[in-house]
Chains A and B, each alone.
Chain A
């Protein structure tokens, strides 16, 4: 696949494999995955259940180490890093969004969003707060700074989680089934948010098993049995905002 050379590669995978040993059996979750993702791309990774999407995302997010293959994140070789180095790398370069939000219970939005910065001692308390507030405004929760996680709807909680993924100004945002727990209207709202972030130049990888969502991103990668079976550029990105407006109005 040809790319414009002025785009900087954020992720470079070369023949990445991941085997799990379960009892006597070896599960080949990833069987040699290679691709590069460039700055500013909005990539959806799709595939059936068990195709290896989460395994791939964990490897990309430096939570897991591939069994073999090369992985460069923002030009840094990840595979040879130890646990602590990967933790610091996650802290500085990656933003995670999970299916079940994973907010701290009984904790305010601001404190939840501050969390990644708590593990970065070069950031002062004031700057931390400032950046958390800014991130919450960016996801449209400027009014809900001091709401506790259990006082908010699923969609709002996922926005807090996205703000948390933004707060450390990561080189890439990784979302695993980020809309999986939400109804279709709220899903579209979140999708609109991702498109806005994309428009601002963020690099996003969005894992989903809903094939309909592929039209809203700039690139689609399809996995099957741990291998990339399709990798296409989407030249005609649909607007999630329009899709949201077209949804039938909520009836009470």
Chain B
């Protein structure tokens, strides 16, 4: 018996029981549809987090004081542990880690009110070096960045973002050369950053004020330590080497003995990204499991209906055998029927799942991302479901005794 005849027979059987076939399909439709939609939601949020992190900077490496691994995330460090990074560490990194790094900047920040005339705006001033702009992919649109001279002399100059400009200079003045106050400290605006807009998390990337780090340390916060050190690796592939090198320099600087714990932590952007996406990965797995269960339930539905169908059609099976169908022909017929039902259901499910995903984006604005493999995967799974759950009923049908089957009432 050839495949086209088998297909024809199975199609006729499905056609003779349209409603029942459709109801059987429903389980698969819902299963496949939800697997696709759930994976799309999970992948979508993962992708949006990754985008957020990559738009933060290029091949970024962050050095923070204290040992994150020892402390565990979220545990507060005491103040001495917060103060382990010094300017000397920054200078050591700049002078020694030249092989893999393209830019290094210290960072120390202070929050408060920015005041100009009658306007004020709550923000924080970030003390950095010029390299910071390269690391964070910032560009100066008007005016200039502060100079090495400004850093050396702790000059009270700053570069401000678009949001600060809009909130302080409300009557279209040119901010360059104007003096704004941060708390009691006056700063001369030397440059305005090009607007970056909101990031995908909804944060305003233009609400920034950059000043020489020495100015923040000496004139604003009166501290000698650094909040963190940021750096850019020359190539993405070099980030882990760069991290090792930075760690080595810092351990040497801090005179940490072999085997003792670091009092700082160095992390790359990818690590941060994988850390943040691990939760969404979990969520994706969870959602996919739930959807997978509904696919399984759909499969059991197929098996159930196939069993009913085999019993109901016992006489038909007997007849087919009496006119020359072999066991394998009967097996193939019912198996193909199960596969046709599950594949058709799967196709409809794919269409519905993709449709639902796009509906979620357009109506609710959820970030969704449909990976081709997830469509392929759920389609494969539903075909296998059909084979797996169709197998036993089909096998039972094929093993019937033709004489008993044809006498069956």
A residues with CB within 8 A of B: 58, 61, 63-64, 83-84, 87-88, 90-92, 96, 98, 102, 104-107, 111, 115-116, 118-121, 164, 168
Contacts and interface: CB of A to CB of B under 8 A. Distances in A.
A88 B329 CA distance: 11
Contacts of B12: 107, 111
A104 B316 contact: yes
Given A115-B320, A168-B324, 18 more contacts: A63-B322, A63-B402, A84-B326, A87-B321, A87-B324, A91-B323, A102-B406, A105-B16, A106-B16, A107-B12, A111-B12, A116-B323, A118-B8, A119-B324, A119-B325, A120-B324, A121-B2, A121-B5
A23 to B, nearest CB: 17
Interface in B320-350: 320-329
B319 A102 contact: yes
> What are the nearest 6 A-B pairs in CB distance?
A91-B324, A116-B323, A87-B326, A119-B324, A121-B2, A102-B319
A187 to B, nearest CB: 21
Contact of A90 (B324, B403, B406): B324
B323 A90 contact: yes
B1 interface: yes
Nearest to B15: A106
Contacts of A87: 321, 324-327
A83 B322 contact: no
A119 B322 CA distance: 11
11 contacts: A83-B327, A87-B321, A91-B323, A98-B319, A102-B319, A106-B16, A118-B9, A119-B323, A119-B324, A119-B325, A121-B1
B21 to A, nearest CB: 13
B403 A119 contact: no
A104 B406 CA distance: 12
B409 to A, nearest CB: 9
B315 interface: yes
B303 to A, nearest CB: 23
A182 B68 CA distance: 91
Nearest to A119: B324
Nearest to A122: B2
A252 to B, nearest CB: 33
Contacts of B319: 98, 102, 104, 115
Contacts of A83: 326-327
Given A91-B323, A111-B12, A164-B323, A98 B5 contact: no
